[in-house]
Amino acid sequence: MNLDDIYTPLEEAKKELERRWNDPELKRKVEEYIGKDHLPEYFFEKPHAISIEDVATPNLYCWTFASKAYDIGLEPLHFEYLDDIFITTNHDKASLGKMSFYHGLDDNGDMIKSIKRVMHLDGSEEKKKIKEIKTLTGEMLTDLHHRLLLKNFPEAKIFDGSAWFTNKGSLAKNYYKYVLAMTICHGALFENFLNYGYEGNLVENILIPAFDEIKKEFGLKPLIISVAPTNKELEKFWLAYPEFISTMI
User: Higher model confidence: residue 98 or residue 1?
Assistant: 98
For 60, residues 6+ apart whose C-beta sits below 8 A from its C-beta are 102, 237, 238, 239, 240, 241, 242
Query: What are the pLDDT digits (tens) for 103-121?
Result: 998 888 888 999 999 999 9
User: According to the per-residue pLDDT averaged within each range, which of 140-149, 197-206, 221-230 is highest?
Assistant: 140-149
Closest CA to 47 of 67, 79, 78, 77: 77
Tally Cβ neighbours within 10 Å of residue 33: 15
The overall average pLDDT reported for the chain is 91
pLDDT at position 232 over 60? no
Average pLDDT (124-128) is 92
- pTM comes to 0.91
Closest CA to 191 of 212, 162, 222: 222
Taking the alpha carbons of 80, 129, 88, 175 in that order, is the dihedral positive or negative? negative
- Predicted pLDDT at 57: 98
pLDDT at position 130 over 70? yes
SS3 169: coil
Read off the pLDDT band of 42 (50, 70, 90): confident
Q: How far is CA 193 from CA 151, 223, 229, in A?
A: 28, 14, 10
